[in-house]
Amino acid sequence: MIMMAKKHPEKPKNQLATNRKARHDYAISDTYEAGMMLTGTEIKSVRAGKINLKDGYAQIRQGELWLENVHISPYDAGNQFNHDPLRRRKLLLHKHELAKLSGVVKDKGITIVPLKVYLKHGFAKVLIGVATGKHEYDKRETIKRREQDREMRRVIKNNF
């Protein structure tokens, strides 16, 4: 019998970047899909997958939602038209969604984090989540539960 290495699950074609650390560090309660206002060279870099959401967050300023600390690498062929990689980018939401978010974020310990960036009908969209920070013991509990689930699936798979 020939044993083959397990293939990693492939991400969907339209998904460009994910923030895996967000689900580990935060408990996500609600998610919203928002459009991103990008310059010409930024969208080319995003389509090439050169975006990093790791330390990103969103903030409401003067009634608008802004994505901060998200790194989009400069476009290789962009020369003088390139952008600042860490510049603040405006997120586009409906008024009622923005009002709901601004009411929720006023509570202490709640933040808005980007979860993933993907293309939808040719436009770059970001999935943002309303998050509360996890304590260290919550993170350990999550890891323990995940390992128990994995062990149960393995036992069930081997028995049947």
Q: Say what the pLDDT of residue 156 is.
A: 86
Q: 1 pLDDT exceeds 50? A: no
The predicted model gives 66-71 an average pLDDT of 90
CATH number of 15-159: 2.40.280.10
CA-CA distance, 74 to 48, in Å (whole number)?
A: 11
Q: Over the stretch 76-90, which tens digit does the pLDDT of each residue have?
A: 776 777 777 788 999
pLDDT at 3 over 70: no
Taking only the tens place, the pLDDT of each residue in 8-21 is 455 556 778 888 88
Number of neighbouring beta carbons within 10 Å of residue 46: 22
Q: Please report which confidence band the pLDDT of residue 35 belongs to, taking 50, 70 and 90 as the band edges.
A: very high
Angstrom distance (rounded) from CA 30 to CA 44: 29
Instruction: Let me know if 130 is exposed, middle or buried by CB neighbors in 10 A (0-12, 13-18, 19+).
Output: buried
Q: Enumerate the domain spans of the chain.
A: 15-159
